[in-house]
Amino acid sequence: MSKLNTIKQPISKEMADFQVFFKSTMKSTTPLLDIITRFILRTKGKQMRPMLVFLSAGMHGKINDATHHAAALIELMHTATLTHDDVVDDSNFRRGFFSINALWKNKIAVLIGDYLLARGLLLSVKHKQYHLLEVVSKAVDEMSQGELLQIEKARKLNIDEAVYFKIIEQKTAALIAACVKAGAISVNAPENTVEAMEQFGLKLGMAFQIKDDLFDYEPNGITGKPSGNDIKEKKMTLPLIHVKNLLSAKERRQILRLIKKKRKTKKEVLNLIQLVDKHGGITYARQKMEEYKNGAIDILKQFPESEYKNSLLEIVEYTVSRKK
């Protein structure tokens, strides 16, 4: 049994029921829409976000219809933003599959994203769950601002640590925080519990994104080599940002010239990764990731023992130990 299947054990029935419900939220009378939404369902990833909604709800009360609505709303909004992201990034692949824009072109991809956003809004309004809608809408607002901030700063490559942490909090952590917050709200948890879960989600999300950024610099399980993808795409992440501040002005200029270079050789990318490692950038990023992980665990410790809590603790550990 995989780690994720073990984590999912307390909510296995709810997740199975959710698959059926989520499919129904995307149903339409337009044949092309149904073809594309079936494709979306076939290519869904680990579904960590619905899992977080259900585990948070189970830890604080009895999972109910509102929990399913919260999970579906988040998954609809998240899928919509990913569809739009692939258009913005001109990306042809998503989780090893062709992206919607690669198969059906940009115009249809944008309209599909709009449709999914609308379905999420209608789902919330139909069931008068305005508080849940507010939570998820705020997260999408944060994600949009984070993306724009990253684009603005990336042009000049002037991202410092404070900006980096703000970007990943908005782009990644805000939605994870919305998952566990919405789960708690769906079972009418007390306000202080809802706030604690939101903070837990933020810390989990920060650790998650730093781990993602470390994949660029650490050997992966498939090739045994660092991917270097962010470096190739001119993205400044924590290991490099930290080291950049330790170098001389001349060395910084050399690094920035290499980052800006359109076509980098494998040797150039590897040399930069080795430089970052030599100056402690990878170690520093791991330490920050551990700080956020431990902060998330400390928040969970205040709640009573349960199988749902155990699964959330396992998700925290999985977040920082996963291989992809």
With cut-offs at 50, 70 and 90, classify the pLDDT of residue 175: very high
Of 170, 203, 172, which Cα lies nearest the Cα of 290? 203
Q: Which residue has the tokens 């692939």?
A: 86
In the prediction, which pLDDT does 189 show?
Answer: 97
Paired tokens of 84: 């739009």
Residue 304 DSSP symbol: P
More confident residue, 46 or 150: 150
Who's near 320: CB < 8 A, 6+ residues apart?
207, 211, 289, 290, 293
What average pLDDT score do residues 304-318 get? Answer: 96
Q: How does residue 291 score in pLDDT terms, banded at 50, 70 and 90?
A: very high
**Between residues 66 and 251, the one the model is more confident about:** 66
pLDDT score of 298: 97
What's the chain's average pLDDT?
88
Taking the mean position of all CA atoms in its chain, how far away is CA 158?
23
- pLDDT class of 251 with cuts at 50, 70, 90: confident
* Cβ atoms of 241 and 164 closer than 8 Å: yes
For the 3-321 domain, the top CATH level (class) is mainly alpha
The residues spanned by each domain of the chain are 3-321
Q: What does the pLDDT look like over 106-146, one tens digit per residue?
A: 888 888 888 889 999 999 999 999 999 999 999 999 999 99
Contacts of 284 (CB under 8 A, 6+ apart): 238, 239, 242
According to the model, what pLDDT value does residue 284 have?
Answer: 96
Q: Is the confidence at residue 226, as pLDDT, over 70?
A: no
Other Cβ atoms closer than 10 A to 67:
27
Measure the CA–CA gap between 79 and 232, rounded to whole angstroms: 26
pLDDT at residue 34 in the model: 86
| pLDDT band with cut points at 50, 70 and 90 for residue 225 | low
Lowest mean pLDDT among 94-98, 100-104, 236-240: 94-98
Q: Indicate whether 158 pLDDT > 80.
A: no
pLDDT in tens, 7-19: 999 999 999 999 9
- Three-state SS string across 144-177, please? HHHHHHHHHHHCCCCCCHHHHHHHHHHHHHHHHH
Percent of the chain with pLDDT over 90: 52
Instruction: Grade residue 196 by pLDDT with cuts at 50, 70 and 90.
Output: very high
**Whole-model pTM?**
0.91
* Predicted confidence (pLDDT) per residue in 275-288, tens digit: 888 889 999 999 99
pLDDT of residue 56: 98
Q: Is the pLDDT of residue 223 over 50?
A: no
Mean of the pLDDT values across residues 266-279?
86
pLDDT tens for residues 17-36?
999 999 889 888 888 888 88
Average pLDDT over residues 76-105: 81
What is the arithmetic mean of pLDDT over 150-159? 78
